[in-house]
Amino acid sequence: GYSLYSTPQMTLVIPYIVRIWARRKAIAEGHGYYALNVTGPMLQFYEGYYNASYPLSKSDQIALPDFNAGAMENWGLITYRETALLYDPAISSVGNKERVLTVVAHELAHMWFGNLVTLRWWNDLWLNEGFASYVEYLGADYAEPTWNIKELIILYEVHKVFAVDALASSHPLSRKEEEVNRPDEISEMFNTISYSKVLHSYLNEFAFNNTVYSDLWDHLQKAVLTTPGMSLPHTVHDIMNRWILQMGFPVVTIDTATGNITQKHFLLDPDSVTRPHDDTHRRPHGVIPLINRAQIVDDAFNLARAKVINTTLALRTTRYLSQERDYIPWESAIRNLNYYILMFDRGQAYGVLQAYLTMQVSPLFEYFRTVTADWTRVPTGHNDQYNQINAISFACRMGVERCRVLTSDWFREWMLNPDHNPIHPNLKTTVYCNAIAAGGVEEWDFAWTMFKNATVATEAAKLRSALSCTKVPWLLNRYLDYSLDPAKIRKQDCTSTISYIAGNVVGMPLAWDFIRARWSYIYTEYSGGSFSFSNLINGVTRRFSTEFELKQLKQFKEDNAGVGFGSGTLALEQAMEKTAANIKWVAENQEQVMNWFSNECA
């Protein structure tokens, strides 16, 4: 049965009831308090932001143990996975807390933009989701102002979408109404005062009605024309249509000698020649603002993959990382270096790559060991807590022995006393994974037992992910079989479990063989219209970088044409394109990358 928190008595004065529903045990243990406490303030914020009152008399939110999506913005009763709504401070990490905050913020944003005013057809779903994805950061920042969460947009949204939109198989945001009809097709797809006026007029005109994206442009244009001192070089329609009716984004080149500026469509794998880059000036990294440091690294690696600049120039942006202590630049670097790791962790270049990155991450590992008094304290800053996780995770991944001993000792201490877990919630994901990777059957079986006994969804999720980290092939094959047994792994978690296994260099070929042999069954039993099929194909194929793997991909597409790929259709096309680009990139860059890492380690 379900119990609830009800808050008509909240000290925050709001003219509607806010309630959290969940399993009785979860409510009794206080796991709904955090979501409850941020919902009221965020609803008030959105009322001011949209300049429109919350249109219902109550806001109910319910956590479901079995739920395929992350959340769904049903008007008046928002549904969530337990991991997206429930938070236990004794067990859950700072990342779990942030997920609850941002998912709740996203769903509440939809109460106006999506529910009060609904787009006419699925082809404009991008505006509904895109707008809420942006506004969620504003609502979350209002509820947790000390987290500086708006800074994370650059990592979570901008860099992420650029990586996909740089592919030739990308597509425009908006499509014709008749082109979007099936669920899997849907799955694939000013200043403050003036902005507030626009939203107010838009929401009021179309309240309880349907719109198309151009209706919003009309209201934006009206604000431009009626606001004193505001002007644009082109109409809002002209400006926005360039972004939504054509795919991709531009790369802008500035000639510092002549001042000439040129722009062209940025593609990850263009037929172009390497361009010289002479900006070799170096300066202390602290002079450059935090977000710009992250952008410089991300831009350099993407420009190098597109052959606009040399690969070694991009790698040079990582030299300073041994001095970097902030999360956002480190996270940007790790995400980009991850491509090099994926391309080389099965070949001879990996040794020197690992040696170089060990040099870069070791100072960060030692820094956090010192500031946390030998791992006995938690960093105070929100992003510092994230970077402590990076320090341990990346150091262990690069084979830093002190890190391996640390995580294995913590895990062994837990194994000796299963009722008392000494591992801080923030560090559980990385400690569990690295201890299981360094261990054997005993560690895996212990983690499996703890997973089956877990009563908190976030704890179960951490263990389910960590079980994929073992380097023992037969354990990974057994775990793949478990993923298709609903008595062992919930159906909602099947595809992500296979993806976790594929993320392991030992597990990748096992997972690929597994889904090729069972695709028809997986597709039929686990819903081809689900978002998860896109993630599954991306997860299993992201290391692909050989002609043989490309041939296998094409054969997989041909063999299963009659079965279909659902929401993974576009992902499969992109996987083939990315694999072809990876093959070409490795052939062109492996030798110079090896030489560069070797020279840096000399």
DSSP, residue by residue, 340-389: HHHHHTTSTTHHHHHHHHHHHHHHHHHHHHHHTTTTTS--SSHHHHHHHH
Question: Distance from CA of residue 434 to its chain's centroid?
Answer: 21
CA distances from 578 to 159, 411, 531, 549, 582 (A): 17, 38, 20, 11, 6
Bridging pattern class, strands 250-254 and 209-211: unpaired
- Copy the structure tokens of residue 369: 């060991």
Query: Rounded CA gap, 363 and 320, in Å?
Result: 11
Question: Distance from CA of residue 163 to its chain's centroid?
Answer: 12
DSSP states along 444-457: HHHHHHHHHH--SH
In sequence order, the β-bridge partners of residue 118 are 210
413 marked as binding residue: no
Angle subtended at Cα 599 by Cα 594 and Cα 602, rounded to the nearest 5 degrees: 125
Q: For the chain, which residues score pLDDT lower than 50?
A: 7-11, 165, 169, 171, 173-175, 178, 180-181, 183, 185-198, 270-281, 529
Q: Express each pLDDT in 39-95 by its tens digit.
A: 999 999 999 988 888 989 999 999 999 887 778 889 889 999 999 999 999 999 999
**Please, what's the b/e burial string for 110-132 (b: 16 or more CB within 10 A of its CB; e: otherwise)?**
bbbbbbbbbbebbbbbbbbebbb
- Residue type at position 147: W
- Residue type at position 385: Q
DSSP 8-state assignment for residue 268: S
Query: Rounded CA gap, 298 and 59, in Å?
Result: 40
- Copy the structure tokens of residue 226: 């009626």
Query: Rounded CA gap, 555 and 581, in Å?
Result: 18
In the prediction, which pLDDT does 570 show? 86
In the prediction, which pLDDT does 437 show? 98
Q: Which residues contact 546 (CB under 8 A, 6 or more apart)?
A: 583
Question: Distance from CA of residue 73 to its chain's centroid?
Answer: 20
- Copy the structure tokens of residue 557: 């597409």
Q: Which residues contact 498 (CB under 8 A, 6 or more apart)?
A: 480, 483, 511, 514, 515, 536, 539, 540
Query: Rounded CA gap, 177 and 185, in Å?
Result: 11
Query: Rounded CA gap, 422 and 412, in Å?
Result: 10
- The residues annotated as belonging to the active site are 107
**Residue whose structure tokens are 């042999």:** 517
324 marked as binding residue: no
- Copy the structure tokens of residue 189: 């797809």
29 marked as binding residue: no
Q: Over the Cα atoms of the chain, what is R_g? A: 25
Give strand ranges (E) for 82-201.
117-119
Residue of 362, 367, 359, 293 whose CA lies nearest to 331:
293
pTM of the complete model: 0.79
In the prediction, which pLDDT does 36 show? 94
SS3 77: strand
Query: Rounded CA gap, 95 and 424, in Å?
Result: 12
- Copy the structure tokens of residue 121: 């057809």
- Copy the structure tokens of residue 483: 């993923």
**Residue whose structure tokens are 């779903």:** 125
**Domains, in order of start, for the chain:** 2-147+172-244 (1.10.390.10), 351-471 (1.25.50.20), 474-602 (1.25.50.20)
Which ranges of 280-349 would DSSP assign to H, the alpha helix?
290-305, 311-316, 327-344
In the prediction, which pLDDT does 113 show? 78
